[in-house]
């Protein structure tokens, strides 16, 4: 798929997101994300803050920086607390994204397929189990990877790089399967996800960048699903059209 088709998915995604039912669909994952963030901040902030700082304290350059004084110790304590807050908030968002993937995706897929792809046949099997397994897998990889790379945030600019990478991973991988699982066979799904991997990653990267804007991260779970659904179903439609053309001329 071309870049233009990715841009087209975003433009149609914005139009779809502004539909009343899609605006309402934001509420449930938003509430789950907020409740998850509050729960994590209450019970996990201090332990994570201590682990975060102790991990960075083992680094040679970090110890040397502390030895210089100049308020670095106080600043690093404050920074560790701030990054712990940001990190736990991100985990809360991924929980909201998983909830959106399981509960909101069927609504989004139904709306988009009926309006934009009415002739696209549904051939998917074991839809609920595939969707649930993917949501759990992506959430686990994100949380483990996010926590393991937390100490790297003390390295200049790594906080931005890691936020964009893990955000892009979460938004693309959580949404790409759900986008086509109802319509595509297992073979078609494997082909689409492999052939259009860069397109899904690009969508995830844009959504990750937008989520860095305050409060936008709470909207991105549903929006990323909508954009990936437009992109994935268009890719599937083109694939079947090309396959039918080859069979006719074969």
Q: What is the pLDDT of residues 7-26, one digit of tens each?
A: 899 999 999 999 988 888 88
Q: Is the dihedral of CA 103, 106, 109, 114 positive or negative?
A: negative
Q: What is the pLDDT of residues 67-99, one digit of tens each?
A: 544 444 444 556 666 667 777 777 887 887 788
Query: What is the pLDDT averaged over residues 134-142?
Result: 90
> How many domains in the chain?
1
Angle at Cα 153 formed by Cα 32 and Cα 141, nearest 5°? 45
Whole-number mean pLDDT of the chain? 82
Query: What is the pLDDT averaged over residues 230-239?
Result: 94
Instruction: Give 149-203 as a 3 state SS string.
Output: CHHHHHCCCHHHHHHHHHHHHHHHHHHHHHHHCCCCCHHHHHHHHHHCHHHHHHH
pTM for this entry: 0.81
Instruction: Give residue 69's domain range.
Output: 3-249
Q: What is the pLDDT of residues 143-174, one digit of tens each?
A: 899 888 877 877 778 888 998 999 999 999 98
């Amino acid at each position: 798929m071309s870049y233009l088709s990715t841009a087209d998915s975003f433009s149609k995604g914005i139009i779809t997101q502004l539909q009343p039912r899609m605006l309402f669909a934001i509420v449930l994952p938003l509430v789950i994300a907020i409740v998850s963030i509050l729960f994590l901040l209450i019970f996990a902030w201090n332990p994570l803050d201590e682990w975060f700082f102790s991990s960075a304290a083992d680094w040679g350059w970090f110890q040397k920086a502390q030895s210089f004084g100049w308020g670095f110790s106080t600043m690093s304590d404050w920074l560790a607390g701030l990054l712990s807050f940001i990190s736990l908030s991100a985990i809360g968002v991924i929980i909201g994204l998983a909830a959106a993937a399981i509960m909101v995706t069927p609504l989004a897929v139904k709306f988009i397929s009926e309006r934009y792809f009415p002739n696209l046949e549904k051939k998917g099997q074991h839809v609920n189990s595939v969707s649930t397994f993917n949501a759990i897998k992506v959430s686990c990889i994100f949380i483990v990877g996010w926590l393991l790379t937390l100490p790297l945030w003390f390295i200049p600019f790594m906080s931005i790089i890691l936020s964009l990478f893990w955000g892009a991973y979460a938004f693309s991988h959580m949404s790409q399967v759900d986008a086509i699982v109802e319509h595509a066979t297992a073979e078609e799904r494997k082909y689409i996800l492999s052939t259009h991997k860069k397109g899904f990653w690009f969508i995830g990267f844009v959504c990750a960048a937008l989520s860095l804007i305050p409060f936008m991260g709470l909207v991105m779970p549903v929006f990323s699903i909508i954009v990936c659904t437009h992109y994935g179903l268009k890719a599937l439609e083109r694939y079947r059209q090309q396959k039918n053309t080859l069979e006719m001329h074969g």
